Chain A
Amino acid sequence: MELREKLPAHAISLTVANRPGVLVRVALVFSRRGFNIDSLVVSPAIDGDFSRMNIVARGEPRELGQMIAQLEKLVDVVAAKDHTDDDVVMRELALIKVLCSPEERSEILQLVQHFRATTVDMTESSMTIQVTGESEKIDAMTRLCSKFHMVEFIRTGKVIVARGPEAT
């Protein structure tokens, strides 16, 4: 835990050839240098021969340039970019399942409304909330939910798109 808090997080986007083993090759570049991956999102690109990867990882900033170079060196990696200081749209989605009594329910619904979240499942004793937005917003929502009995919490990890007409 200590390591994760000390080292800054870096958001990296990759375009890769959609081939078996590419995820392992990418992950090895991080693990070999002691970078810890916080989140990793993979999805097919518009051209199905390629995939997009968004990775948030923590490690020494001075090693970041070397990391990007090593990622670009991989045969399957078409492009690798660090977005730490870029003007980009970054979004996450989280699903939060909380147990709640009828009395607690209205308080939770207020939270949902405030964060422009939605409820995606509800039972007599539980509620599942979907929240999207920047990571900080999801952190805040999670903090507020933690006073209730959260039984499950999962987030997608950051997805990144550059602002403006250019591709990321």
Chain B
Amino acid sequence: MSEKLLTGAQVVVEALKREGVECIFAYPGGNAIPLFDALLDSSIDTILVRHEQGAAHAADGYARATGRPGVALVTSGPGATNTLTGIYTAHMDSVPLVVICGQTISPLLGKDAFQESDISGMSFSCVKYSYLVKSADDLPRVMREAFRIATTGRPGPVLIDLPKDVGAALCHSSFEDEVKLPGYRVPSKGDPAKIREAAALLAESKRPVILAGHGAAISGAHRQIVELAEKLQAPVVNTLLGLGTIPGTHELSLGMLGMHGTAYANMAVMNCDLIMSVGSRWDDRITGKLDEFCPNAKVIHVDIDPAEIGKIVVPDVSVVGDAKAVLEELLPLVSKLDTAAWLKQVQGWKRKYPLKYRKQGGLRVQAVVDEFYRLTKGDAVVTTDVGQHQMWAAQFYRFNRPRQLLTSGGAGTMGYGLPSAVGAAVGVKDKTVATIVGDGGLQMTQFELATAAIRKLPIKILVMDNKYLGMVRQWQDMFYSKRYSSVDMTGNPDFVKLGEAYGIKGFRIRRMADISKVLKKALAYDDGPCIVHCEVEKEDNVFPMIPAGAPYSSMLLERPKEELEKPEGGA
């Protein structure tokens, strides 16, 4: 038996190595010192971030970009609480994270000790699972379970709360113990009878739509999605997080559906006679008014999480299982459908209602994204922040593979863009890594400019600066009589100078005519990160738009002249 005495902290580090962890995103503090001490003797790359929220988002970006679990290590108290936004973001988007928090010594637990926070208690509702480790002997099992839970089934964040004395204690370091998770079930293959039912339902469809979400990307089912679409001759729409599961340039791809989806995707969804969701949870951003969503369509729902079945949309046929495994079983059972007329109609919508923007006048975000897509040949890993630029990135960068767009979908976390790009750039070395951020979101986590600069991470930071919180301004413009309240960001820093303070190269774009020239320079720059400060039109709105809680039939292709009713849906 491989049993020798190690400290709890050494066990944690050894366990990380055994899990294949190459890097962690970390910020130390008093109660985490034993862990940081043990890291000195390991080959794990410890990336010192500038704020614990940055650590959690960076681990998230690393995980989404690579498919491997992201690991963050922080101290107790405020160190731990600062990770909560990042943990919640990962939880909403099913991202595998292991977050290790230092904690006060165990005799002081619950006694309001210095930098004690009940992080387990605070995080219950935004983790997949969590541990408060009371004995170092439990650590090998806890670490294995944590990685098992984080990475399997529907992935998610796992938090480990580690009191300082447990990290310092000597313990038996047997890594042979089995994990003990009797209540933890991971669906894999779907029920063959259900898959046959799905095939039978598909066979009757004349106007099918495949809806591919994040689950399809996580499962690596992108080839099967394309194969299914081609075999059936059915168009594919994507959720925001599902983009890339079919190449955006594929003729059967209709891009994103929902609130700011393409008109043709939404028209296809509105008129289909069958919608088959693979790994989407029917978020309210995509259903709009639920009672009127896909009114005449049969519904097939494939999901690895049984709790998603019937949560929002009640399916006619559901299959619980891994998307890739289910599609592989389904593919031999289906054949080409009689969809010629349907595809003709869909292609007609595609031609008639393309995504568009004004090419004259001031600088437009859409144009910057469009040109960046062209210059990077659609191959970059792109993270975004949240808001208008995020929707334009989703619309105008045609993603070709999963794990290419990293964006906070469920949580809509402003500040996600830059730190997640730090994580992505650490994990992905052979692709251009870019973050498209707004002026608001960048300022929420701009402290990670330091991490990017010190590590010379080659991130292209495209700042879309309209000096407004653009999406809120858009709602106030359209639904609140243009009464702009707390959205004016006048007084923003000069982002080129801000970058200079960190030793980051800066570029600036003010005119449409300069986009290509400047972006080329930014892409050619090869000495670490660079900022491209894009001074864009102050007031531009994202279209198409289905107002929150409204039916698809209320989709707006441009700003109506008249005042609109305040939306009934959330956010």
Check A75–B307 contact: CB distance below 8 A: no
Chain B residues whose CB sits within 8 angstroms of the CB of A111 once the complex forms: none
A162 to B120, CA, bound (A): 35
- A32-88 interface with B by 8 A CB criterion: 32, 49-50, 65-66, 69-70, 72-78
* B357 within 8 Å of A (CB atoms): no
Chain A residues whose CB sits within 8 angstroms of the CB of B307 once the complex forms: 66, 69-70, 72-73
Please tell me which one of the listed residues A16, A20, A69, A75 contacts residue B129 in the complex, with CB atoms under 8 A apart: A75
Please tell me which one of the listed residues B120, B121, B149, B311 contacts residue A75 in the complex, with CB atoms under 8 A apart: B149
Q: A16-B183, A78-B182, A78-B183 are in contact. Are A72 and B128 (CB under 8 A)?
A: no
- A9-33 interface with B by 8 A CB criterion: 16-17, 20-21, 24-25, 28, 32
Chain A residues whose CB sits within 8 angstroms of the CB of B124 once the complex forms: 21, 24-25, 28
A28 to B184, CA, bound (A): 18
Check A24–B121 contact: CB distance below 8 A: yes
Q: A28-B125, A75-B149 are in contact. Are A17 and B306 (CB under 8 A)?
A: no
Please tell me which one of the listed residues A49, A65, A74, A78 contacts residue B310 in the complex, with CB atoms under 8 A apart: A65
Check A73–B306 contact: CB distance below 8 A: yes
Check A21–B132 contact: CB distance below 8 A: yes
A49 to B180, CA, bound (A): 10
What is the CB-to-nearest-CB distance from B439 to chain A, in angstroms, rounded to a whole number?
Answer: 35
* B227 within 8 Å of A (CB atoms): no
Chain B residues whose CB sits within 8 angstroms of the CB of A73 once the complex forms: 305-307
Check B183–A76 contact: CB distance below 8 A: yes
Chain B residues whose CB sits within 8 angstroms of the CB of A17 once the complex forms: 180-183
A72 to B128, CA, bound (A): 13
What is the CB-to-nearest-CB distance from B320 to chain A, in angstroms, rounded to a whole number?
Answer: 10
With both beta carbons as reference points, the residue of chain B lying nearest to A73 in the complex is identified as B307
- B157-192 interface with A by 8 A CB criterion: 180-184
Q: A66-B307, A75-B149 are in contact. Are A21 and B125 (CB under 8 A)?
A: no
Check A21–B310 contact: CB distance below 8 A: no
* B130 within 8 Å of A (CB atoms): yes
What is the CB-to-nearest-CB distance from B344 to chain A, in angstroms, rounded to a whole number?
Answer: 40
- B112-141 interface with A by 8 A CB criterion: 120-121, 124-125, 128-130, 132
Check B120–A21 contact: CB distance below 8 A: yes
Chain A residues whose CB sits within 8 angstroms of the CB of B130 once the complex forms: 21
Check B132–A75 contact: CB distance below 8 A: no
Check A75–B184 contact: CB distance below 8 A: yes
A50 to B305, CA, bound (A): 24
A139 to B38, CA, bound (A): 61
Chain B residues whose CB sits within 8 angstroms of the CB of A20 once the complex forms: 132
A50 to B125, CA, bound (A): 22
What is the CB-to-nearest-CB distance from A22 to chain B, in angstroms, rounded to a whole number?
Answer: 9
Chain B residues whose CB sits within 8 angstroms of the CB of A76 once the complex forms: 183
Q: A21-B132, A69-B306 are in contact. Are A32 and B125 (CB under 8 A)?
A: yes
Chain B residues whose CB sits within 8 angstroms of the CB of A24 once the complex forms: 121, 124
Chain A residues whose CB sits within 8 angstroms of the CB of B305 once the complex forms: 73
Chain B residues whose CB sits within 8 angstroms of the CB of A25 once the complex forms: 124
A102 to B9, CA, bound (A): 69
- B251-306 interface with A by 8 A CB criterion: 305-306
Check A77–B183 contact: CB distance below 8 A: yes
Chain A residues whose CB sits within 8 angstroms of the CB of B306 once the complex forms: 69, 72-73
The 6 closest A-B pairs by CB, nearest first: A69-B307, A78-B183, A75-B129, A73-B307, A77-B183, A75-B184
| Besides the known contacts A17-B180, A69-B306, 5 further A-B residue pairs in the complex with CB atoms under 8 A apart | A20-B132, A24-B121, A28-B125, A49-B180, A76-B183
Please, could you name 8 A-B residue pairs with CB atoms under 8 Å apart, sorted by A? Answer: A17-B182, A21-B130, A25-B124, A28-B124, A49-B180, A72-B307, A73-B305, A75-B183
Chain B residues at the A interface, C-beta cutoff of 8 Å:
120-121, 124-125, 128-130, 132, 149, 180-184, 305-307, 309-311
